[in-house]
């Protein structure tokens, strides 16, 4: 299991979320440059959603830091809703890189901050896509445990990660990609921990990478 470190500045977390939004906008714009049909309209809509999300993040960053302000109230969100949100954020990036995206939806859901969990899972999915080669497949799956918890898995068939780096993943700066900051996985780990969950990484050079997220079932207060 990964050791969670809490020294991540709030502004750095939001900056990384903005970076992810910009990656979506960039990918969509590349795609619509050669499309003028209904598909393009759908892509433009996703681009607009990303821009709106960036504006919300910027607005929040201009106000009081998150840790000193009111926290979002948990609400029930299905696993399908979270994963479909993630799919909408990353599918254009996958198409741009010519990476196949396979989604396998399970049952159930959680009382949680769905926006944060989508951010965590989206970070991991983006890492998998960006680490994949053309014609590779990234699989995102969910399943419900007997006690109502959720297990989400992101699996890629990329180059894999050396064991010495796996041990350092989950901390800022540690990254398997050239030019990567390692912040995406660190943010994901922090969010999962705040939900009482665990992150586990299985990888080896040449064997791809599997990131598993387990979130326990917690009843509303």
In a domain, 184, yes or no: yes
Model pTM score: 0.77
The pLDDT tens digits for 98-144 are: 999 999 999 999 998 899 999 999 999 999 999 999 999 999 999 99
Indicate whether 221 belongs to any domain. Answer: no
Residue 196 lies in a domain: yes
pLDDT, one tens digit per residue, over 143-156 is: 999 999 999 999 99
Q: pLDDT tens digits, residue range 82-97?
A: 999 999 999 999 999 9
Q: 189: closest CA among 203, 179, 199?
A: 199
Domain that holds residue 79: 10-215
Identify the pLDDT of residue 105: 95
- pLDDT confidence of 181, banded at 50, 70, 90? low
Q: What is the mean pLDDT of the chain?
A: 83
Residues 184, 127 contacting (CB under 8 angstroms): yes
In a domain, residue 180? The reply is yes
- pLDDT of residue 175 exceeding 60, the answer is no
Residue 1 lies inside a defined structural domain of this protein: no
Q: So what's the pLDDT on residue 169?
A: 73
Q: Is the pLDDT of residue 52 over 90?
A: no
Q: Helix or strand or coil: residue 101?
A: strand
Q: What is the CATH classification number for the domain harbouring 207?
A: 3.30.565.10
Length of the chain in residues, anyone? 221
């Amino acid at each position: 299991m990964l050791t969670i470190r809490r020294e991540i500045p709030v502004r750095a977390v939001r900056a990384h979320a903005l970076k992810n939004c910009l990656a979506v906008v960039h990918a969509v714009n590349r795609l619509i440059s050669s499309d003028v049909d209904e598909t393009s309209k759908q892509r433009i809509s996703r681009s607009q959603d990303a821009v709106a999300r960036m504006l919300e993040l910027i607005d929040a960053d201009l106000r009081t830091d998150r840790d000193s302000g009111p926290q979002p109230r948990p609400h029930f969100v299905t696993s399908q809703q979270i994963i479909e949100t993630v799919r909408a954020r990353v599918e254009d990036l996958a198409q741009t890189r010519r990476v196949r995206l396979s989604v396998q939806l399970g049952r159930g859901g959680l009382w949680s901050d769905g926006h944060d969990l989508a951010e965590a899972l989206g970070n991991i999915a983006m890492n998998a896509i960006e680490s994949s080669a053309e014609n590779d497949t990234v699989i995102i799956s969910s399943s419900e445990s007997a006690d109502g918890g959720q297990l989400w898995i992101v699996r890629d068939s990329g180059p894999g990660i050396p064991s010495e780096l796996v041990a350092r993943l989950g901390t800022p700066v540690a990254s398997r990609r050239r030019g990567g900051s390692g912040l995406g996985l660190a943010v994901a780990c922090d969010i999962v921990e705040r939900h009482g969950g665990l992150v586990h990484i299985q990888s080896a050079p040449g064997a791809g990478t599997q990131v598993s997220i387990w979130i326990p079932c917690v009843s509303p207060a």
